Structure 1
């Protein structure tokens, strides 16, 4: 697959990743938020901002495809920003709880006995996310030994392995939070959950439609060859 078809496939991939990030934010809002933040202004606007971030992520990452040929470095910078920023925003509640352990905070959140079981899993997820970012941006180890990692061990494989492991740790962490903190956080209604996912999906699909329209194959030339 080449040309516009290749770019379209990547755009669909970016849209799916953006929706995955929104799903992570919904899970964190329902089960992983620090208890002292529940009902705060940040908690109230957390999911709406995550919906906006999801749409912006799709837009910026898809736009990077149009810069791929002429400005590859800027293209990669836009693509990296498109996913790093939403991840950092979505993970603020988890970062707060994990750092609280290092800082020795205690109380009714995840810094005492409540929520402790999920924090090692959240930490492993964050470590895998960092390794995913480093493998994507550094192109190691193939940069150190060109040709030696063409089939096995190159950075793109490391990128996917770290991403899969990170997702596994994230799902396990949210499952532990859901079991340990049940009844302590207000669980959003189905309408709120599917409404947020629907708005994020609609925004991303609209962007994909614009990209597909701009990436239509050029019609074959009618000029006769001589």
Structure 2
């Protein structure tokens, strides 16, 4: 099964040769549309937009919004950050419908956590793609879109937690302190993840102090490790041969841990400055690995849903499932309020400068 998953994941890989043909698409667009300006070097953009060891491929500021939309078909240092998630979304949907067809799936209360997991992943992908596509418009836009990106991350974290709790968790784990406070705890940590990332983005300017990384990583890491705890417990206590989904869960954890390395460190560009400006720098690898993580999660959760769907309601009760699902939009609204407050703070900060 894990071999089949890896085969599916290869659809996310795009060759540099294919990207080399992208500028030709721009030439096919109507001449009446605004045309994206050529990319510029790092010295021609403000420090806010500069990335370590990335010297070229920056898009000029203050173009028409359509230019940034059309830069989807332009070679620049953000293009793979956008396309990695744009390609992952249809792969997720394809695997969703393939599993639905195989299971004879029906939309009922037992499948709601699984639906919310998919919705949370798509929200995260959309917010991330939009952030990297439009952030070069202006300083204000840069802050705004990344605040929304953090909302998407927090929503995705809670969507994962719902799937892990209702389909993966073991009775003994649910009886523990972790299990008893898991759902409200993961919701709170998702909110704190959004708060931490927004505060770090809004409060600190380049050169960034170490406090910025602490504000970003600690709440996000706690949210992840708490959310993945039912999976880790099952990996340590159940035979992987008896439950093939655990092999896929192990793969998703491996992909995620690898992605954190590339998120935290500018690898490989720090070793070869200027060589990975357009393709292959660390944040792009982080995006690809995160996409692989999500696809593995979906495959594993579908297997567990197929095994447990007849007992989910009896095990947890309709009331708990409904409250857990209602908390999903409540968390989304709370994170949006955090983002809007951060936007207001940035408006005041930029007005003073």
Q: TM-score higher than 0.5 here?
A: yes
Match of 1:22 in 2: 158
1:11·1:208 contact (CA, 8 Å) conserved in 2? yes
Distance 1:37 1:113 in 2: 20
Instruction: Indicate conservation of the 8 Å contact 1:132/1:159, yes or no.
Output: yes
The alpha-carbon deviation at position 155 of structure 1 amounts to 0.5
My pick for the range that moved more, 211-220 or 53-62, is 211-220
Written as runs of structure 1 = structure 2, the 5 A alignment for 1:5-154 is: 5-65=141-201, 66-69=203-206, 71-100=208-237, 110-111=238-239, 116-154=243-281
How many aligned positions are there?
A: 211
Alignment pair present for 1:174 and 2:301: yes
Give the CA RMSD over aligned residues: 2.2
Q: CA deviation at 1:215?
A: 1.5
Give the match for residue 3 of structure 1: 139
**What is the DSSP-based 3-state SS (H/G/I as helix, E as strand, rest coil) of the residue aligned with 2:205?**
coil
Match of 2:244, SS state, is: helix
SS of residue in 2 equivalent to 1:216:
helix
- The answer (yes or no) to whether the contact 1:47–1:196 under 8 Å persists in 2 is no
1:204 aligns with 2:341: no
Q: By how many angstroms is 1:212 displaced?
A: 1.4
Unaligned residue ranges in structure 1 (runs of 5+): 101-109, 222-226
Structure 1 runs of 4+ aligned residues shifted over 2 Å read: 35-44, 68-74, 110-114, 181-191, 217-221
- TM-score, structure 1 length as denominator? 0.85
TM-score when scaled to structure 2? 0.56
Q: Which structure 2 segments of 5+ residues have no match?
A: 1-136
Q: Deviations over 1:151-198 (max 9, x none)?
A: 111101101000000100011111111112334442564531332112
